[in-house]
Amino acid sequence: MSNDVTSQRLVALFCLGWLLLNFPLLGLWDVRATVMGLPLFPVALFLLWAVLIAVLAWLMERRTHGPQDD
């Protein structure tokens, strides 16, 4: 059962990443602004990408709390 839930979460994460890194939402960051001297668009793109990787790593490394085999 946990494999089913993990698969569903991975598909949902893929869809979220696809939406966040697609034009309509990504275009919101394309403005003339800076963050600590860096243009906002590349900074936002990198942060979105890093968050998606962090969530993916968290999903893949989760441990189930079931009975353990000794």
- Domain total in the chain: 1
* Model confidence at 70: pLDDT above 50: no
Q: Is the pLDDT of residue 33 over 70?
A: yes
pLDDT digits 0-9 by tens, 42-52: 999 999 999 99
Asked if the structure places residue 69 within a domain, the reply is no
Residue 67 pLDDT: 55
pLDDT tens by residue, 5-31:
889 999 999 999 999 999 888 888 889
Residue 6 located in a structural domain: yes
SS3 58: helix
pLDDT value at residue 63 = 64
The residue segments making up the domain with residue 22 are: 2-61
Residue 68 domain-assigned (yes or no): no
Tally of CB atoms within 10 A around 4: 8
